[in-house]
Amino acid sequence: MTEPGGALRVGLIQTRTPATHEAALAHVAPLVREAIARGARFVLTPECTNVLQKDRAKLLPTLTALEDDPVVIGLRAIAAETGTWIDVGSALVLREDGPNGEKKAANRQAVIDPTGAIVATYDKLHMFDVQLPSGETARESATYTPGERAVVVDTPLAAFGLTICYDMRFPALHRALALAGAKVITAPAAFTRPTGEAHWEVLLRARAIETGSFVIAAAQGGFHEDGRGTWGRSIAIGPWGEVLGKLDHDEPGVLIADLDLSAADKARAAIPVLANAREFTGP
């Protein structure tokens, strides 16, 4: 349950996920346990918590269905053992419905309740298909099938709206989540270093301000076995846009933040953008 006065202690896990599931579980589990030991009632891990491998040919043969994933199984066990909500920010898993028998993956968030049950999932809606000015390219749609629905999870702790990484660039999704009752929006990520340095914090603060929501962003950080680099700098932001806590580095670690959930109602009452928005025609 929430603490007296509506405060909720959350733990954000920053990882440098390895390229195998076994190593990934050994990496993330102690960090999750540390967050719980420090009083977190809700723990969020980053995008690609279960494996980080950019080579499609190497990645796909290692993937399983969500319920069979070793990292998800391990985190479900920790949730049940400790009575803690754990949000697997995303696991890369096989879809059940690949076209023409083709193996196709999903970038899937999974919310685990204190009994170890998966109570909600969300497949990343927006695929990171870009060519950056630095020359770095990405085409997530070559490997992953995007989701089709937004998800809000109503828990005894708070109502959480689920997003993943690139989703943070799409304000309409966040507005829909807030209108559906979300007070806290999750933003697990594996942000590139060039875009992270330029856009990470400002985008997350903007999404918090324009929806009057808490935004909690757990990140991958550093240089990974598969050769990619990620930005790190996990951060928790209040509904007025204030930074409640952040990691100023890209090393693995734990960020603890206390969320006064009543602040979301106060921010939305002070500047009622959710209520004041109008339909319009044109341009």
In sequence order, the 6+-apart residues with CB closer than 8 A to the CB of 93 are 50, 63, 64, 65, 66, 69, 105, 106, 108
CB 209 within 8 A of CB 237: no
For residues 271 and 242, give the distance between their C-alpha atoms in angstroms, rounded to a whole number: 15
136 belongs to the catalytic site: no
- Catalytic residue list contains 47: yes
Residues 242, 88, 36, CA angle at the centre, nearest 5°? Answer: 70
70 preceded by a cis bond (ω within 30 of 0): no
Catalytic residue among 104, 124, 183, 246: 124
In Å, what is the CA distance from 186 to each residue of 89, 139, 164, 281?
8, 23, 7, 32
Q: Which of 47, 104, 140, 246 is catalytic?
A: 47
Helix axes 21-37, 70-82, angle to 10 degrees: 20
Look up 183 and say whether it is catalytic. no
Select which of 48, 140, 165, 246 is catalytic: 165
Residues noted as catalytic: 47, 124, 165
